[in-house]
Structures are given as C-alpha cells and as structure tokens.
Amino acid sequence: MRLPTGLVSRPMSILGTRVVRTEDPVFLTRGATYTDDLTDERLTGALHVTLVRSPLAHATINSIDVEEARNAPGVVAVFTGADCDIAPALLFPAANKKMLRPFLATDRVRYVGEAVAAVLTEEAYQGEDAADLVDVDYEPLDAVVDMKEALKDEVLLFPEAGTNSVTAMHLNKEEPGDDFFADCEVVVSREIVNQRVAAAPLETRAASAYWGEDGRCTIFCSTQNAQSARDEVAGWLGMDAKDLRLILPDVGGGFGAKIGADPEFALVAWLSKKVGRPVRWNESRSENMTGMVQGRAQLQTITIGGDRDGTVKAYRLDVVADAGAYPRLGVALPMFTRMMAPGTYDIPKVWSTAQVVATTTTSTAAYRGAGRPEATQAIERAMDLFADEIGMDPAELRKKNVVKPEQFPFTTKGGAEYDTGEYAKAIDLACEAANYEGLRAEQARRRERGDALQLGIGVSSYVEITGGGAFVENATVQVHADGTVTVLTGTSPHGQGHATAWAMLASEELGIPVEKITVKHGDTDLIPTGAGTMGSRSLQTGGVAVHNAAVELVELAKQRAADVLEASIDDLELDKATGSIVVKGAPGAKSVSLADLAGTEELKVFHEWDAKKPSFPFGAHVAVVEVDVESGKATVERIWALDDAGPILNPLIFDGQRHGGIAQGIAQAMLEEVVFDPEGQPLTATFADYGIPSAAELPSFDLVTMETPTTINSMGYKGVGEAGTIGSCPAVQNAVIDAVSHLGVRHIDMPLTPVRVWTAIKEAQEATR
C-alpha cells in the first residue's frame, strides 16, 4: 500500500503524541460558558422565553386563552400561533411537502411537547408561573405511536398529505425476485428493533437573540454547525443570511442532535424583533427529553442466506424508520443504513429498502452514528443468527466472509466505495487480546456446571462512513508579529478537542509551539463558511484544511523571505526549532522568523480543502457479559475494542472519543430507550426514568490499536467520533444473547433489561418443553 506523505516519519514530530487538551483547564476550573451562562452586554435586559407545550400527543386546538397569563406578574408579552407570521417550514427537503412544521402550533398538535404559545417575562420563574395560566382547549385525537400502525394510514397526522408516509426516496422500483435466496442451503429471517434513544447532552437546547440598530440579528446558540444553522434560520425568517450572525459559546455536547438549527432558534429571533428587546431561551431537561430530536427508531427485517460451510450468499434488509411528528434529518438516515447494509462482508447479493413514517412522537434526526450503527446492528445480528443456525463459531464465520485486503478499494453491493481496510486482521487482533479461546472454554465450563452466572461472548466486525455528505472544509492560519498564531476553522468542536488538535497540526508545520496557537470557531461573521462538526468528519476535512493552510503559509513565508534574505526560494527552509526561515545547510547564515515576516506584511492563508469523498474506518469489538439466568440481569464485564481510523493524531483525544463512544454503544444495548405509551405520552422524560449509564454500569475499556491510513487525504486520517458506538453496541447485544443461547434463546431486542432477558429465557424454555 502506498504510504501517504503525512505518515513519513519525522524526528521530533508532535503528531501522534499525547498532548494534554488545552481547553480542559477552563472546563475543569471555572467551568464552561454555555449559551444560558452568557453575560454579554448585548443581552442586558433580555426577556426570558417560556414555551407552553402540548400535554397531548395528538389533538386539535379549539382555542387558546392567554388573557390570564398576560396579566400575570412580570409578563411582557404572550404569543400564539395566530400571532406568529413565520411560515410553517418543511424541515427536510425530501420529506412530503405537506408535512410542514409551524413555529407555534395553530390548529393541531402532533406530539407531546409541541410549542403552542410563547410567554415572555422579566424573570425566568415568572414564565413558568404564567405558562401554567395559558388555557388551551384541546380536542383529543387518536395518537399513533407504533410505526406499523402509522403505515396503515388510519390515523393521519397531516390529513392534507393523505398519508403518513414521509418519503419514497429509499424505495426500490422493483423487487429482487423469488430466486434471491434460491441458491442458499440455509435462510434465517427475523424482525428486530433498533430502539429510539435520546442524545441527552448535558447542555440542553438554548438560544438568545438581539437585533442591532443596523437591522442585523445576532443569535447566540448551541449547535454543531453555526454556518448552516445561520442559513436555515435565515431561510425560515425570510432574511438574507448576511443580516444574521450566529455566535456559539461553549457547546455542552451534541451527539448529532444539535446538527443545524432548531425551529426555536428562529422563534427566539422573531420574538426578539417583535418585542424590541433581547430575549433568551433555555429549555429544561424534561422539555429536552421530548423537544430535542431523538435517534435510531428503526424496525428492521433481516434475512440472511448461505451455505452450511459458512459462505454467506445473500442478505436482505427491510427498514421502517420513524420520523416522528415533523420529518427532519431522520428522513435521510436510512440512506446510510442501506449503503452500509453489507457491513464488512463481501456478500454477492444484497438488497435493501426503507420506508419512513410519521408518528405522533418527537422528531428524529442524527444520533452518534446516524444510520450506520443501525446497519451494523442488523448485519451483526444476522451473522450471529446465521452462525447459530449452521453451528459455526461467530468469529470464524465473520472472518470467512469479510472483504479481503487485496480487494480494496472495494465497491460494495450497498454502493459504498471502501477505501482501505484489513477486516480479518482486526477480528484476529481483538480476539487475541480478549483470549477468545480461553473465554469460550470458560463459557463451556459454566454451561456444563449449569451456573446461575453464565458467560456470553459477543463479536462485532464493523465498517462505517466518516466525513460523508459534507466533504469541503476551510481553515485560515495567520501568524502574528508577536509570534502567536490564530487558526480559524469551519468545524465546530463541542467536546472533540479541536483547539488542541488543530494547534498540533499547525504547530507541526510552523514550528511554533501549541501554547502560542489559538483556534477560533463558531462565529459566522468571523468565519462565514464551514460545515461544522458531525459525522466524524472534522479531522479528515477541517484538520487536513489546517494542515494544508499551514503548509501553504510556510511556502508564502519562503517567498517573502527570499527577498529579505536575498536567496533563492529553493535554498530556503523552515527551521522548526526556531520558527524561522533559514538557508539550507548554512547554519549561522541570515534568517528571518515567521513573526518578523508577519510584522512587515500580513502573513495569513485561507485554504479550502475538498476531500471529495468519505473514508471508511473499521474495527472489531469483543464483549464479555455475565448473565444471571435466574434474574435475567446482564452485566458487561469486559470489552476489547479495536477501532482503526488511520494514523492517530493525539492518542489522548482518540481514546477519549472511543471511551465516550463505547459507553454510548453499551448504553443503547443495555439501558437506553425512549418509551411512549399508546397515547403518545413519554414515559422516559427524566433522568430517573431514562437509562443513561454512569461509570458504575460500565467496565474499564480495553483498547486495541491498529492504524490503516486512508488514501483520500495526504495525512491518512479517517474519523473516530462514532466508531466506538458502532462497534460496541452489536458486540454487547450479541454477547448477552450468546450467554443464553444454549437455553434456546436466539434474539432479544435492545435494551437488554433484566425483564427482557428473563422473559426470553422463559419463552425459549417453554417452547422446547
């Protein structure tokens, strides 16, 4: 394999070293400054927005009486949908054009938590009191929570649309034919649920807005991409994007759920204009658990066929995806699920299809992995079901069917072009680290003895897409006369450590230490273009842009230095020890520092990098669980994770991303599920009810290293932000089912709660009786 230039080993390189995150001292001492913490003078005297939210999942609104609220203490204004002249918006272009979202509900509400009125008060507490006084007369309608029920179109969310089906974008024109599985000795099929989960970032949604005398609006808000959020809000408000400025204070987690703008951002800007004062809005946790977009929510039918020797020949994935009440980014995600359907395997025949349906629930969008984990979970369950059916070891079955190293670049039947990978090696290394054979022997002993605590071993092999969809990113690198450096980036860190990582990349090329480099992001006046941070894209797009800009800056500096030093540019080089341009091979000769050059003329480079395509990181996880077969309680004991995302820029940040990702994957497998009752009432709207894990529910993570560079950029970098989630979740689900497979259990849907595991054991035993 060709070695990308970035990998050529360099003496004293900062790349690949464990630089402690420069952003952490503030987070760990005085704390971050989130949107709601802002004391910006432009927000002086801001009114607080409290949104009156629907307690019903589906109802028509007969009337809204706001008189009593208007007269309550501290209330400056109350607005309803009748007052609001922001045109209802289509929140995702490919959705049914009739499925428009009003910014305040007018005639109908479609999920619990939908905003029906906005109360503006001098103090925040007055808003909650006054909101209680808004009297909404609802006429309840039947809720539709179940996706299959919704597909029947008996209860319609949008009667004007005539259907609950959101899009035809994932449907095929024709069926694959009856002979799809005809040449298979064994065919296994099963319906599985990839349950709805909540991103639950520690910082809930927030936005503040004010209008300047120049007619421009500034919105401080919590998002993963300021520039596209600005464009969305401008579109909703019918404004020129130039008249809108978005500023991002610290953002306390996003996990995909803060991609783009929320309709509330536009509402806050509109309210500010309406009352002629700055306003601020920050939702409560309970509001967040119904108002913020949620993830996954797919019903999948998997069918896998092949021969008894372990050759997988055909795979079919049929998806129903839940869009929630108002279609958003969740509409698009089955595209990734379908593209990644075959996973790491070279399967001759692959077929997939997806329907997306509206239900009277919270809207869905991206959540860590966003469409790819759903594909991985499906194929990895399918592989285990197939292995069980033919009596083959699941790790062996995987190795037999993965794409081989010599097949890269490999175009899959899902339509993806895998850049680089060594999938069998990853499985081998993870299994070796876990002492897979030893674990199987221990499992056999426990089964033999009939222990109450049974051992389960789960394997996953995965590949995913990073930097998909938004390939272009920009960076500006400027050296100042005082020797400091400013980096402007179009990425939007909210925990990813770009302040450190981008400084490392610039430092490497400029020979200026990290502590003299400041990274700025998230102000659309300062950085008008950029795609933000999502889809594990930042390093391979924005990071490479920083690298390229710094390289260009050195070239620019050499051109300028050629005049100063009266030397040919070809004879010059940057001495990274001093940050100066020197004549090659002439120590002691004249030199000029980058800082001095910057003192004469602005030394600044803007670079836009187009990756043109995504990369495909991969890996293998091995999870070990103990299942108490008497109570059904499963405990994750160990997890060995190999996540190969190319060369590692900073092992501290790289491993941190994996830790968080693995935790979220385990959380989905074991604990988390957003539940609505049949009337559409949320049953998991607090952290007491919703199962986010603490450290006590998680094992220590065993990380296995492998670095296979991509060929799509000079640095070899792929993305790692979502890898841990994608790999760990199926490994853990497979492990729990493996622990009780000798009792006849073949599948248990996530989350693998004690009651579900116990019920599965009981049903399997009753079936064999």
Partner 1 sequence: MIPVGFDYQRPESLDAALALLAEHGEDATVLAGGHSLLPVMKLRLAAPEIVIDIGRLAELNYIRVDGDEVAIGAGTRYRDIVISDVLAKECALLPAVTRTVGDPQVRHRGTLGGALAHGDPAGDLPAAILALEGTIVLRSPRGERKVPITEFYTGVFSSVKEPDELLVEIRVPRTGATGWAYEKFTRRSNDWAIVAVAVVTAPDGARRIGLVNMGSTPLRAKATEAALAEGKSIEEAAALAAEGTEPPADNAGTPEYRRHLVTVLTRRALQTAAG
Question: Minimum distance from CB of 633 to partner 1 (Å)?
Answer: 7
Q: Would you say 116 or 603 has its CB closer to partner 1? A: 116
Residue 202 in contact with partner 1, rule: CB under 8 A:
no
Site string for partner 1, 680-709 (x = CB under 8 A): ---xx-x-xx-x-xx-xx------------
Report the first-to-last Cα separation within the chain, whole angstroms. Answer: 56
**Which 102-161 residues touch partner 1, going by CB under 8 A?**
124-125, 128-129, 132
Cβ nearer to partner 1, comparing 421 with 632: 632
Between 287 and 644, CB nearer to partner 1: 287
Beta bridge partners of 79: 118
Residue 129 beta carbon to partner 1: minimum distance, rounded to whole angstroms: 7
Q: Nearest distance from residue 206's CB to partner 1, in Å?
A: 14
Among 400, 480, 633, 659, binds partner 1 (CB under 8 A): 633
> Which lies closer to partner 1 via its Cβ, residue 112 or residue 226?
112
Q: Least distance in Å: CB of 221 to partner 1?
A: 20
Report in angstroms how near the CB of residue 118 gets to partner 1 at its nearest. Answer: 17
Residue from 654, 662, 545, 564 nearest 605 by CA: 545
Across the beta sheet with 572-575, the strand order is 572-575, 580-583, 591-593
Closest distance between partner 1 and the C-beta of residue 175, in Å?
39
Residue list 740-759, contact with partner 1 (CB under 8 A): 753-755, 758-759
**Which of residues 286, 353, 484, 486 is near partner 1 by CB under 8 A?**
286
Q: Which of residues 265-284 bind partner 1 (CB under 8 A)?
A: 284
Q: For the window 636-675, what string marks contact with partner 1 as x by the rule CB under 8 A?
A: -----------------------------------x-x-x
**Shortest reach from residue 622's CB to partner 1, in Å:** 24
For residue 477, give both structure tokens.
Answer: 């690198």
As measured in angstroms, the least distance from the Cβ of 449 to partner 1 is 18
The answer to whether residues 484 and 6 touch, using CB atoms and an 8 Å cutoff, is no
Least Cβ distance, residue 288 to partner 1 (angstroms): 11
Instruction: Tell the smallest beta-carbon distance from residue 698 to partner 1 (Å).
Output: 11
x-or-dash pattern for partner 1, window 66-105, by CB under 8 A? Answer: ----------------------------------------
Pairwise CA distance, residues 442 & 517, whole Å: 53
Nearer to partner 1 by C-beta: 614 or 691? Answer: 691
Q: How far is the CB of 718 from partner 1 (least distance, A)?
A: 34
Q: Exposed, middle or buried: residue 432 (CB in 10 Å: 0-12, 13-18, 19+)?
A: middle
Burial of 486 (0-12, 13-18, 19+ CB in 10 A): middle
Q: Please name the amino acid found at residue 758.
A: W
Residues 571-630 touching partner 1, rule: CB under 8 A, are 630
242 vs 285, which CB is nearer to partner 1? Answer: 285
Sort strands 349-358 and 312-324 into parallel, antiparallel or unpaired: parallel
Query: Nearest-5° angle of CA 347, CA 353, CA 355?
Result: 155
Q: Rounded distance, CA 592 to CA 766, Å?
A: 83
Say if strands 417-418 and 410-411 run parallel, antiparallel, or are unpaired. Answer: antiparallel
Cβ neighbourhood burial of 86 (10 Å; 0-12, 13-18, 19+): middle
Q: Which of 427, 353, 348 is nearest to 393 (CA)?
A: 427
Name the residue nearer to partner 1 (CB basis): 200 or 557.
Answer: 200
* Nearer of residues 129 and 243 to partner 1, judged by Cβ: 129
Residue 121 or 591: the one with the smaller Cβ distance to partner 1 is 121
The residue (of 295 and 682) whose beta carbon lies closer to partner 1 is: 682
Encoded one letter per residue, x for contact with partner 1 by CB under 8 A and - for no contact, window 210-249 reads ----------------------------------------
Tell me how far apart the alpha carbons of residues 645 and 658 are, in angstroms, rounded to a whole number: 11
Q: Report the residue number, 284 or 705, with the smaller CB distance to partner 1.
A: 284
Mapping DSSP onto H, E and C, the string for 181-229 reads HCCCCEEEEEEEEEEEEECCCCCCCEEEEEECCCCCEEEEECCCCHHHH
Residues linked to residue 462 through DSSP beta bridges, in sequence order = 619
Q: Taking the CB of residue 425, how many other CB atoms lie within 10 A of it? A: 17
Per DSSP, the three-state class of 179 is helix
Contacts of 498 (CB under 8 A, 6+ apart): 489, 491, 519, 521, 533, 538, 542, 543
Sole residue written with tokens 């500034």? 218
To partner 1, the closest distance from the beta carbon of 696 in angstroms equals 4
State which of residues 285, 308, 584, 612 lies at the interface with partner 1 (CB under 8 A).
285
Q: State the nearest-atom distance from the C-beta of 321 to partner 1, in Å.
A: 23
Distance CA(177)–CA(314), nearest Å, equals: 12
The DSSP H or E segment spanning 609 is: strand 603-610
Strand 217-221 and strand 244-247: the pairing is: parallel
Q: Which amino acid, residue 514? A: V
Give how many residues touch partner 1 by CB under 8 A. 30
**Residues near partner 1, by CB under 8 A:** 124-125, 128-129, 132, 284-286, 630-633, 671, 673, 675, 683-684, 686, 688-689, 691, 693-694, 696-697, 753-755, 758-759
